[in-house]
Structure 1
Amino acid sequence: MAAVSSASDSGDPGGRHPPERRLLILGGPRAGKTSSANTILGDNVFEAGTETTHSNVGQTEIYGRRVTVVDTPPWAVPSDPEEDGDGDESSTAVDESDTPPRPVPSLDSEGPCMGAILCPPGPHVILLVVSVTQSFAEIQRRAAEDQLGALGGGTWRYSMVLFTGVDKLPKGTFIEEHIANTGEALQWLVERCGSRYHAFDNTQKDGEDNTQVPELMEKVEEMITDNQGWYFEVNELILLEEEQARRALEEERMRMEEHARQREQMIGGPPRELRVLLLGWKGVGKSSVGNSILGRRDFESGQETELCLRRQALVSGRRVTIVDTPGWDWFSVRRTPKRIRQESQRGAALLRPGPHTLLLVLPVVSSLTARKRRTLLAHMETLFGDRACLHTMVLFSCGDWLGHTPIEEHIQRGGRELHRLLEYCGNYYHVLDSKSPVKDSRSISDLLDKIEEMIRENGDEAFLPVQSEWLSEESSQSSDNTEPEDDCRGCQLQ
């Protein structure tokens, strides 16, 4: 975005229209944006006391100039567990009881940057509203910086900090003292705005002794003079693209939160534990799949797994326990060494009283022949019994190889053997894309949802019970530091 000279600054050549000044008001939740807009306009043009969801525009005339004021929704301030400890001790004006609750996002609301479109061709001044009664730490500073960055480059030369709630400052405390005492984050913001700031007491009524609006407009004129009469030109196309991207992220975030709420209502109490056993022939990427599900590198990928390894993490509101196992031979059960077969059974024993899901990993880049399918099923039934099919799900790894091809289309092309394998698993399958972290995170949550669906479908037999013959020497060779008895403590699915 570029700043260009405003042709309207000198007004209409014929004198029929006064020159215009355009002010865009931005700020965080409950900062006092709407009240400040009403103070500038000299009337209750906007409804104060409620959260603004869409930008609104109002106009008035001040000292022969037409002033356009745009009020905007609050910018997002992400939650931070360490936020309460940053900068509060050094502030003499912040009361924790005045810290506003975070607004509940809604898809009906729009981003604050969209307000710039309502003052075409662009604002002369961007007022960044900061309440002196709220903490202003590093997280608030980043939120302000991100918001200005969303508008485009060059915004800071048109920005001014507008402090609100100055009537709440201790008697005799000037705004300069508040800036000095609040901390580096606020000082950075003021300095980034070229040390331009103003203070409002929005409780003051209009009167001859109320000079705060005229003084603000004098500072606005000084800024316009310093900027040689230029304004910040708005690129509507970029703003619309940014808004579209913001709404897409918000939709995804709300979808994830709704899933979490539904799980919490269904489960209740402590996080539910899901116990998963990774199975498959050599080199299919079981360890990588385990790392993707847990969201960290707990299993050593890229080398052959020799012993079972059990790891656990909190994933999408569930406590997920995964056991990685050595790979089988793809040609026949007999060619899989006996110790490998025993290790697979001991892996299940590490998930006592039993794994909820046997995750059969199958790369999408591999073709499934009749021998491979028969060998897979022979391993499953020989090691875990004929009831294993009720708890087995096919996990297609290397999903990024599909590109834009849906997994269902890949299955249709996979041929009869792949269809028969899925029929054995009750048509439970999933695909993971390890190349896209955002997409993969959503996919992991969907995978856990499918596992819970399988559990509900299995009714009384929620998991595959561990057999006594699997328990021999189960912990002597397995690479794990905890006793199997402790692995499922607190599980809500037993």
Structure 2
Amino acid sequence: MATVSSSSSTGESPCLPKRHVVLLGYRGSGKTSSCITITGQEEVPAKQPTKEAVLCTKTLDCGQLLLLDTPGWSLEGGDSVAEGLDEQSSTSAQIRHLCYPGAHVLLLVVPIAEPFTEQHRRGMLERLESAGMHVWRYSMVLFTGADRLWGNGVEEFIAEGGTALQKLVERCGNRYHALDNTSSENSTQVTELLQKLEELVQENEGSFFVINENIQASWPAQMWRGEIRDGMETGEAEVSPIYRSPPRELRMLLVGWQGAGKSSAGNLILGGRKFESGRRTEVSLRRQSHVSGRRVTIVDTPGWDWFSIHRTPAHIRKEIRRGAGLLHPGPHALLLVIPVISTLTSRKRRALENHLEMFGKEASFHTVVLFSCGDWLGATPIEEQIQRNGGQLLRLMEYCWNYYHVLDSTNAARGQDQVSDLLLKVEEMVAQNERRPFLPVMLNEELDDETTCGKCTLQ
């Protein structure tokens, strides 16, 4: 057994929470390279096949990550799961020892550069499900070789990657991440992965997947001849419709005035009390949930000034931009939250547009106007309210290419339907943008106040 540590401390701090993560996959899938990318350790030999389990540790501000690299599986079969699991039965004991008392997350490593076939999928399922169907609660797909995407989103790769790949991602609860192991300078991709890992840990309430002797048992061959077992799909099962129209994962940024109802809107969309509503948001917060067959991630941001971008403090603007960075590589949509009861003046409209342009000149193509306080409308259609409000609201609608939606947080009966309708509109907007899901977010640039003031000349 081998142990490598990236911590500069002489011992593990007992007060830091530990997160146990195991990398599993076929030989040559990029498990070891991923360990190096995630932990920053170059002591681990990435060029040679992994012969025994290797434990890498990384000390973080909030705790400690224990990342277990394992020997690769053989595509031809014959090796049981925790054998590497590998071809030697001793590997199973190594993994149980190094990962005691269990794993918070199982990362299923899949290389982007190679086709993922039905043989790959069935071999992976046979190994994993020998430990029990609950294994999927702890599983996430880790795509390696993100540099091979050539500028496209990983969602597009999944959509075009075939039924076997799509079924695997769906089996993992639509949890996935892509790593470029050739880039040691892109720390954002690691930060995003760590956030996803922690969210999965919280989703499972901190519980472990216990690796024991049961994981060595393989399913009988006849189980793969079309027989159905305990909720498992057959090879002929249809792919979920969410794979047929990208994006399958939706990342959205809540923006708008102070007190506009952004946090409440985020709670309604995610289906729970994810954000603290009723009080001013000081920092950007990232939360996610599974909604209407999609993995939805939302960042709530501090509110900006009602009348001028120049009156929004620089640290608030920076915090809003940081919020966009939490949705690496960028949000699919900006949700511009406006109370439906608000009267939009020329000054307010220009301030809204100027604030949106913090995200680039094309921000309007990616913005949905989200009207909060929808209960105030009663039976009045939103279109009628827009007409009543006058030309300024119409001009804002034109600026945002007429993408808008109404949320009524008091109508629990329609809660799911109105959220599903919103997500469909966001997906439609992404499709209209030629499936370019990401905004050109300028995270490291500060606004030029003089330029900003010039843009904010109000009539």
- Into which bin does the TM-score normalised by the smaller protein fall? 0.3 to 0.5
**TM-score (structure 2 length as normaliser):** 0.44
